[in-house]
Amino acid sequence: MRCLLCVFQNKNNSEKCHSCDYYLNSKEIRTGISYIEKGFGKINEELDNLEEKVHLVIGLVFKRHKYSAEDLTDSVQMDRIKSIAGKIKDDINNWQRAGKLKGFIKEFYNDYAQATQDRFNAINKNIRERKPTLWEQVGGFFRQLYKSIVELLPVIIQRLITSKKYKHIKETEAA
């Protein structure tokens, strides 16, 4: 926080106050903070939309989630979130390489990134741990049964074919 003494002492309008190490308001800092706020604002909008879809249930008798966990994790919104976050991170890294990144902006970015990452992780946890509806449990049982049959069927057929081959080979060897 800036004290009045610092305001009076800093008449030459340097970036950082020598008394309290406060980063003073400059155009570069305002632009950088504005860019970061807008970028993370877009990410938070996408996270809001995604969060609304997590518990959305449809159907009267056979209730089920409108979007499956796979649909949500592979959704366009997830791609947009990753894209926007990657763009912001690339820009921050470019500013740092160019020497235009102020320590205050880096701290501001890190705080926003950590808060957004925590929210993103919480939403992913909700997606993974949401309880399936009764109809989804029944459907999941039949999907597992079908998957088991489809996986075991080729093994059974292979064993039948190979046992017939061995039987035929033994008959020809005996003759």
The whole-number pLDDT of residue 3 equals 45
Going from the C-alpha of 41 to that of each of 1, 10, 77, 81, 171, the distances in angstroms are: 25, 33, 14, 11, 76
Q: Crossing angle for the helix pair 27-54 and 103-129, nearest 10 degrees? A: 0
The whole-number pLDDT of residue 4 equals 46
Per-domain residue ranges for the chain? Answer: 33-131, 133-175
Mean pLDDT in consecutive groups of 10 residues from the start of the chain, 175 residues: 48 53 62 88 92 80 76 88 93 88 83 93 89 72 78 73 69 69
The whole-number pLDDT of residue 13 equals 52
The whole-number pLDDT of residue 20 equals 53
DSSP string, 84-101: HHHHHHHHHHHHHHHT--
